[in-house]
Amino acid sequence: MFFRSPTIAVHVLRGILGIGFLYVALNYSSELGWWVLMPLAAALLFLGGCPMCWIVGLVDTVLRRKTGPSCVDGSCGPTTS
C-alpha cells in the first residue's frame, strides 16, 4: 500500500515534513504567489495525498508492525495471535 511506511518513525517524520510544508503553503500563500504550489505539492507527497490519508497510513503501519509477517507450512501471511 502506498500510504504505509517501513517503520513508524519514518511515517511520523513524513507527517512532520508534510504538515510543515502545508503550513508554509497556507501561511505564506500571499507572499509566495504561484510559488506556493511547490510546498503544497511537497506536502501532498509527504502526506500521501491528504492528512486523512496520512492517518490511515499510520494505522496501517502500526497494525502491520503489530501483526508482522510469518511463514507457516510454506505460506506467508499475517499472524493471528
**Per-residue DSSP letters for 14-78?**
HHHHHHHHHHHHHHTHHHHGGGGHHHHHHHHHHHTTSHHHHHHHHHHHHHHHHH-EEEETTEEEE
Q: Which pLDDT value is given to residue 1?
A: 46
Task: Report if residue 25 sits inside a domain.
Answer: yes
Is the Cα dihedral 57, 59, 61, 63 positive or negative?
Answer: negative
Q: How far apart are CA 50 and CA 54, in angstroms?
A: 6
Task: Report if residue 27 sits inside a domain.
Answer: yes
Mean pLDDT of 27-46: 92
Task: Report if residue 14 sits inside a domain.
Answer: yes
Task: Report if residue 2 sits inside a domain.
Answer: no
Q: Is the pLDDT of residue 41 over 80?
A: yes
Task: Report if residue 1 sits inside a domain.
Answer: no
Q: How far apart are CA 22 and CA 46, in angstroms?
A: 10
Task: Report if residue 42 sits inside a domain.
Answer: yes
Q: Which pLDDT value is given to residue 3?
A: 66
Task: Report if residue 31 sits inside a domain.
Answer: yes
Domain that holds residue 62: 8-78
Q: What is the tally of structural domains in the chain?
A: 1
Task: Report if residue 3 sits inside a domain.
Answer: no
